[in-house]
Chain A
């Protein structure tokens, strides 16, 4: 699976947009970009995923560059409850083997 690179930590003021970057320069054509987050001691929570088009759901937006070598997760109005570790993961679908490979993620701290 392609490797991803994320900044280890970021801060964001409550109510502002949080923009979390991710580099995946070795991504291949059939790999999807997934974002998960882990809040404190809970299990990882799915946020959003995409292949090459930008995606939006009720939680966030995902912007993927045209060359697909990087992406940005956008939390439009961050709240204190968004404080978590955010993981950018590339996922390949090879037959029935489609596991996720977690990295170290970005620790997002939302402050008042």
Chain B
């Protein structure tokens, strides 16, 4: 089966621009998570969808970040406007129920 796929793998944007990251979970997985690692820090939880509903968005840093999961399939994470401190690697993960999370290889975002 195909794993979790993320697009793009790399993105370089200027401060103030908008970027949209996409995550396609493993087919049939109802849970979808977003995480990120900023330079030198630990991997941090951002939010959790169950199907199309936001179950936990306690890790979202501020209102410049907007995540959606229309239809309960793929998800997008939009950063608008991007700031320098948003640079890092954004990971998506999915799971079926309480099964282990499976992660994608991430999107490396660089804000200049």
Contact = CB atoms under 8 A, between A and B. Distances in A.
A103 interface: yes
A21 interface: no
Contacts, number: 49
B89 A41 contact: yes
Contact of B45 (A38, A41, A96, A101): A101
Contact of A97 (B43, B55, B89): B55
Interface string B89-112: 101010100101111111010000
A96 B50 contact: yes
Interface residues of A, number: 19
Interface residues of B, number: 25
B1 interface: no
Interface string A78-111: 0000000000000001001111111110000000
A102 B56 contact: no
B45 A43 contact: no
A38 B45 CA distance: 16
Interface string A11-51: 00000000000000000000000100010011111100100
Contact of B55 (A34, A41, A43, A96): A96
